[in-house]
C-alpha cells in the first residue's frame, strides 16, 4: 500500500532508534530546534514533534511554519555535519517544494493542489499523533503483572479422560474364529490340465516330418479335434520341438512375414 507515495516514494530508513544521534550538549541550545539524543523514527515522527511544539491543536498547525522548522532543522543538522538518513532529505526536498507551491497564487498551482498536499500531511500527522497518544494511554493502564495480579498459585483445573472400553462376547469369539481361520494350514488343490509335453511333441513332430519332404505348416502337426486348451499347449510344445529339431540340423524352418505361418521341412540325409 502506498497511498502516500507522493510523500514517501523514496527508500525509507529503517526504524532503528538512535540512528540519528545529535552531539551531546546541543540539547536545549535552541528551544524550538534542539537535537534529541533519542532521535526520531523517521521524518514524519520529527514533523509531529515539531508540530507539537507549535502548542496548538494538530488541526490548527501552520503548515508553512512547520515546513520552515523542518527545513531549519535539517540545515542545522547539516551544518553540524550529521549523517542524515536519506528519507529525511527526501522529506526536506518535498517540503521545500510544498512551501514554494503554497506561496504561488492558487490558479498557477498544479494538480493536486498545494493545499491538498498540505492537508494530506496534516491528516497524517493527526493520525500518527492520535496513535501515539493512544499508545501512551494504553501503556499507562493498570497492567497485569505490574499493577494488577492474578492468583499466585492456582491449583489448576484438569480434565482426565478415562476410556471405557466396549466389546461383547460375540465380537470376541468371532475375532478368535477369524484368527483361526486366517492361520489354519491351507490345502491347495491343483487340477490336472490336458497338456502336451515337450517330449511327446518332439516325438510327434519328428515322426510326422519323416513321412514327407514337403514344407508343412506347424499347425498341421497339432492333434486334430483336440479341445482348445490342449491345442494351445500342443502349439507351444510343437513350436519348441521344431526349434529343437532345427538346432539338431534335422529340420529347417521358414516364415515369410512377421506373425505369418510357420513352415517346417525335413532336411534330407
Partner 1 sequence: MSEKPDEVMRAVEATLFASEDALTVEVLAGHLGGIDAAEVREALHALEEYYRGRGIHLVERGKRWHFETAPDLAHLLRREREQVRRLSRAATEVLAIVAYHEPVSRAEIESIRGVQTSAGTLDVLMEAGWVKLAGRREVPGRPVIYATTPEFLEHFGLSSRRDLPGIDELRAAGLLDPVDDALEAAMDREEEADSGAEEDAEEYSSESQA
For residues 11-40, which are near partner 1 according to CB under 8 A? 12-17
Interatomic CA distance for residues 203 and 152, integer angstroms: 102
Q: Is the CB of 31 or the CB of 160 nearer to partner 1? A: 160
Rounded to the nearest whole angstrom, what is the least distance from the CB of residue 269 to partner 1 in the complex?
57
Q: Is 148 helix (H, G, I), strand (E, B) or coil?
A: strand
Rounded to the nearest whole angstrom, what is the least distance from the CB of residue 261 to partner 1 in the complex?
45
Nearest Cα to 64, choosing from 45, 50, 78, 79? 50
DSSP 152: S
String of contacts with partner 1 for each residue 176-215, x by CB under 8 A: xxxxxxxxx-------------------------------
For residues 53-92, which are near partner 1 according to CB under 8 A? 57, 59-63
Q: Is the CB of 180 or the CB of 193 nearer to partner 1? A: 180
For residues 224-263, which are near partner 1 according to CB under 8 A? none
The enclosing H or E element of 118 equals: helix 114-139
By CB under 8 A, name the one of 55, 161, 189, 224 that touches partner 1: 161
Piece of the chain touching partner 1 by CB under 8 A; list 174-182, 228-236, 239-247, 252-260: 174-182
Rounded to the nearest whole angstrom, what is the least distance from the CB of residue 81 to partner 1 in the complex?
24
By CB under 8 A, residue 137 contacts partner 1:
yes
Interatomic CA distance for residues 201 and 165, integer angstroms: 68
Interatomic CA distance for residues 82 and 23, integer angstroms: 9
Q: Is the CB of 163 or the CB of 269 nearer to partner 1? A: 163
Half-sphere exposure (Cβ direction) of 162: Cα atoms closer than 13 Å: 1
For residues 102-131, which are near partner 1 according to CB under 8 A? 106, 115-116, 118-120, 122-124, 126-128, 130-131
Kindly compute the dihedral angle of the four CA atoms of residues 131, 133, 136, 142, in this order, to the nearest 10 degrees.
Answer: -100
By CB under 8 A, name the one of 172, 213, 243, 254 that touches partner 1: 172
Positive/negative CA dihedral, 56, 58, 62, 64: positive
By CB under 8 A, name the one of 28, 145, 228, 249 that touches partner 1: 145
Interatomic CA distance for residues 20 and 30, integer angstroms: 18
Amino acid at each position: 500500500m502506498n497511498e502516500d507515495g507522493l510523500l514517501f516514494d523514496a527508500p525509507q530508513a529503517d526504524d532503528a532508534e538512535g540512528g540519528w544521534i545529535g552531539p551531546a550538549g546541543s540539547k536545549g541550545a535552541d528551544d524550538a530546534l534542539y537535537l534529541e539524543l533519542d532521535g526520531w523514527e523517521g521524518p514524519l515522527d520529527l514533523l509531529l514533534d515539531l508540530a507539537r511544539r507549535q502548542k496548538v491543536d494538530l488541526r490548527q498547525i501552520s503548515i508553512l511554519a512547520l515546513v520552515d522548522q523542518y527545513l531549519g532543522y535539517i540545515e542545522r543538522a547539516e551544518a553540524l555535519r550529521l549523517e542524515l538518513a536519506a528519507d529525511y532529505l527526501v522529506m526536506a526536498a518535498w517540503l521545500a517544494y510544498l512551501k514554494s507551491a503554497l506561496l504561488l497564487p492558487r490558479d498557477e498551482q498544479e494538480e493536486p493542489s498545494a493545499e491538498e498536499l498540505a492537508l494530506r500531511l496534516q491528516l497524517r500527522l493527526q493520525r500518527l499523533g492520535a496513535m501515539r497518544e493512544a499508545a501512551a494511554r494504553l501503556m499507562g493502564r493498570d497492567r497485569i503483572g505490574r499493577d494488577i495480579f492474578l492468583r499466585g498459585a492456582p491449583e489448576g483445573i484438569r480434565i482426565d479422560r478415562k476410556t471405557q472400553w466396549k466389546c461383547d462376547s460375540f465380537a470376541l469369539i468371532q475375532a478368535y474364529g477369524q484368527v483361526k481361520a486366517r492361520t489354519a494350514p491351507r490345502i491347495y488343490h491343483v487340477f490336472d490340465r490336458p497338456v502336451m509335453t515337450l517330449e511327446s511333441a518332439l516325438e510327434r513332430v519328428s515322426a510326422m516330418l519323416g513321412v514327407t519332404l514337403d514344407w508343412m505348416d506347424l499347425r498341421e502337426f497339432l492333434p486334430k479335434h483336440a479341445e482348445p486348451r490342449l491345442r494351445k499347449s500342443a502349439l507351444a510344445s510343437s513350436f519348441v520341438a521344431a526349434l529343437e529339431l532345427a538346432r539338431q540340423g534335422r529340420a529347417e524352418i521358414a516364415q515369410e512375414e512377421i506373425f505369418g505361418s510357420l513352415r517346417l521341412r525335413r532336411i534330407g540325409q
